[in-house]
Structure 1
Amino acid sequence: MRCPNCSNEDTKVLDSRPISDGMAIRRRRECVKCGARFSTHEEMEILDLTVMKRDGRTQPYMREKIESGIRKAFEKRPLSRDDFHSLVTGIEQDIQKSGKDQIMSKDIGNIVMKRIKGKDQVAYIRFASVYRKFADVEEFVREAKKL
């Protein structure tokens, strides 16, 4: 790890701690050359996963898309930073459990909906209204009644 102060690549780890649900690690480091201290954050990534869109196109998996959807669903709703991180990590763990190199976007959407439903019903309805593309108010009401 390169020191942000002097760019030296020789640093030592002073402390390592798991973050959230143990899927990330925070490390406190010190530069051997200049003595500067800094923190790093290591997190598991889902690699080489392709998402098949509804129209048949494929694209690489992007965590940012899930994060964006969840942020929109939980806008002005109570969700701490740790709960947000745990929610996204849990979704990624569910995706990874499939063990496949390719996943349908609708399967990701279903996983997200299942996870959000357990956290906040308003956020669930918000996400469902976009994900399921409700055509009219009746569809919206039917989904809300399922809660």
Structure 2
Amino acid sequence: MTPTYDPTPATSLAIGSDADLAWVRHQVRQFAAEIGFGLVQQTKLVTAASELARNTLIHGGGGQATITPLTKGSTPGLRLSFIDTGPGIHDVELAMRDGYTTGGGLGLGLSGSKRLVDEFSIDTKPGEGTIITLVAWATGVPGTRPGAR
């Protein structure tokens, strides 16, 4: 059985420049801190968000990020989605392989981001774009609930 999430309204952020990447990182860290993520969890989530936002800009030609606070029972979490209308990912399995790169980097962006979060999914159609969604749950904060936004 799939767990039921109790989402609050999402915050959308444009990704069209390097300045937007910095703003996405800042907002993800702020949301994570507000709902009770520890410093290590915040760092993991911001790292994953930074990689995916940069991919949205570079490979997808820009797009948007959405940040949605969630709860599962009394456990707070965040859902982050990175959406573009770029060329899509032609071979997801290859793109998820450690060391694979199309941009000259280390090839750890997608696979590394997946390892840093609790849930990770890719919805892509070649020629139509990509949506990458991740979810991270705060640990060690019983009874904490996200604040209204």
Q: What is the TM-score with the length of structure 1 in the denominator? A: 0.31
Higher relative strand content: 2
Instruction: Specify which structure has the bigger relative contact order, considering alpha-carbon pairs within 8 angstroms and separated by 6 or more residues.
Output: 2
- Structure with the larger helix share: 1
TM-score (norm 2): 0.30
Q: Greater Rg, structure 1 or structure 2?
A: 1
